[in-house]
Amino acid sequence: MSNDIKKAIKEKARQLGFLLAGVTTPEPPPHYSTFENWLAQGHHGTMDYLASDRSQARRADPREILPECKSILVLATPYSSPSRRGQGEGNIASYAWGEDYHDILPARMKELVQFIEEQVGSPIKNRWYTDTGPILERDLAQRAGIGWIGKNTCFINPKHGSYFLLSEIFLDLVLEPDPPFITDHCGTCTRCIEACPTDCILPNRTIDATRCISYLTIELKDDIPAELRDKMGTWVFGCDICQMVCPWNRFAGEGDPVFEEKGSLHSLIEELTISTQEFNQRFKQSPIKRTKRRGYLRNVVVALSNTGDMLALPVLQNALNDEEPMVREHAKWAIEKIQQRAEPTRPHGNES
């Protein structure tokens, strides 16, 4: 009976858009000590919520979240790779071109729970999360048998690559766990490590978030360290570089249509003129809203600097009067950088 229910659950999950589904137990995650060490070394940067006592206790033991939990259903929803969509002048992580998954996936998980309750004929205590709960998601995904944790820290499936959004449903229901994924298919490949422009990928399959472009453009609410700005290219929200170079993503297929791009960015110069009202309206259903206008324009300013475009100087000059101090500071830096690059190289003295 349990296997029949599990099979039905996985089929329903696929119908709802979850390409992969696996079941694991609520036992403590196997790599929790790695997470503890990562925190101790300060690699989480300003994400203090990760280091709270309550958060750590819940990540160490899923039953702290739901004491009645007997099974954890791990789900993966695909989104399109950058090669399958257009790119504007400014780069945005591929998952963020469409609607915000935080707004989409919970409704699907709720529908899946209702289906499970119909199958068993009674209500089931449950909790569900998608990148919002105190869970070591990739650890659970590996233990649920749907992939492994790559050197770039991304979850990778050997048939579909790494362009996935993970979700988890904690259930007060006994389901037979799937065998864990134990093979490391990264082998000797180091393409992601070599490609990272800020050298944030560490040898133990963790990252120094304080150097990661995704962290710098999304999570960091303060000034971007000056020594990293030149290395960020034209990324204005997130980064896909370590996934773009991963050989396993040659198998990446089409993403869920709801995460396909709803439009493209304007030029970076035009983006820098956006008002708070325009920002809130344009990105109200997008993950980009997390940065707020000030963070977004900070990122746009850095990207503009890295284009070296002299035509950006007038709009950067206007940004010196922006209402946000952070935007003004980055604009001042960008103007100086563009002007320095434009200066003709001074000839060296004649060699004797």
Q: Pick from 245, 297, 243, 246: which is nearest to 274 by CA?
A: 297
In a domain, 203, yes or no: no
Whose structure tokens read 């710098």? 216
- pTM listed for this prediction: 0.92
Give the Cα separation of 300 and 272 in Å (integer).
7
In a domain, 233, yes or no: no
> What residues have CB less than 8 Å from 229, skipping those under 6 apart?
302, 305, 306, 330, 333, 337
In a domain, 333, yes or no: yes
In the listed set 143, 171, 199, which residue is the last one of a domain according to the structure?
171
Alpha-carbon distances, residue 118 vs 8, 23, 123, 129, 170 (angstroms): 11, 19, 8, 21, 17
| The residue type at 304 | L
Q: Are the beta carbons of 238 and 95 closer than 8 angstroms? A: yes
Judgement on whether residues 279 and 167 belong to the same structural domain of the protein: no
Coil, strand, or helix at residue 302? helix
Judgement on whether residues 289 and 152 belong to the same structural domain of the protein: no
In a domain, 120, yes or no: yes
Give the Cα separation of 109 and 115 in Å (integer).
10
Q: Are the beta carbons of 101 and 260 closer than 8 angstroms? A: no
Judgement on whether residues 16 and 150 belong to the same structural domain of the protein: yes
Which domain, by its residues, includes 149?
Answer: 2-80+98-171
Higher pLDDT, 168 or 345: 168
Directed axis angle between helix 2-15 and helix 101-120, to 10°?
150
Mean of per-residue pLDDT scores for the chain: 93
Q: How confident is the model at residue 83 (pLDDT cuts 50, 70, 90)?
A: low
> Element (H or E) spanning 76, and its range?
strand 71-78
Q: Say if residue 295's pLDDT is above 60.
A: yes
Is 4 considered catalytic here? no
Judgement on whether residues 167 and 283 belong to the same structural domain of the protein: no
Total residue length of the chain: 352
Q: Residue 324: which CATH number? A: 1.25.10
Judgement on whether residues 10 and 124 belong to the same structural domain of the protein: yes
End-to-end CA gap in the chain = 90
| The residue type at 139 | D
In the listed set 124, 152, 171, which residue is the last one of a domain according to the structure?
171
Judgement on whether residues 53 and 165 belong to the same structural domain of the protein: yes
Give the Cα separation of 208 and 309 in Å (integer).
31
Q: How confident is the model at residue 307 (pLDDT cuts 50, 70, 90)?
A: very high
In the listed set 155, 171, 187, which residue is the last one of a domain according to the structure?
171
Q: Say if residue 347's pLDDT is above 80.
A: no
In a domain, 217, yes or no: no
pLDDT digits (tens, 9 = 90+) for 233-289: 999 999 999 999 999 999 998 899 988 876 667 789 999 999 999 999 999 999 999
Q: Say if residue 9's pLDDT is above 90.
A: yes
| Overall average pLDDT of the 205-215 stretch | 97
Within 13 Å of residue 345, how many CA atoms lie on the same side as its CB?
3
Q: pLDDT at position 263, please?
A: 61
pLDDT digits (tens, 9 = 90+) for 125-153: 999 999 888 999 999 999 999 999 999 99
Count of domains in the chain? 2
Give the Cα separation of 150 and 135 in Å (integer).
18
| Overall average pLDDT of the 61-83 stretch | 94
In a domain, 239, yes or no: no
In a domain, 198, yes or no: no
Give the Cα separation of 33 and 57 in Å (integer).
12
Alpha helices in the chain, H assignment, sequence order:
2-15, 32-40, 53-60, 101-120, 137-143, 191-195, 213-214, 226-229, 241-244, 268-271, 276-282, 292-307, 313-319, 325-342
Q: pLDDT at position 11, please?
A: 97
Judgement on whether residues 136 and 280 belong to the same structural domain of the protein: no
Per annotation, catalytic residue among 131, 184, 223, 230: 131
Q: Pick from 140, 179, 164, 117: which is nearest to 58 by CA?
A: 140
Judgement on whether residues 158 and 300 belong to the same structural domain of the protein: no
Q: How confident is the model at residue 36 (pLDDT cuts 50, 70, 90)?
A: very high
Q: pLDDT at position 79, please?
A: 95
Whose structure tokens read 């309750």? 117
Judgement on whether residues 150 and 277 belong to the same structural domain of the protein: no
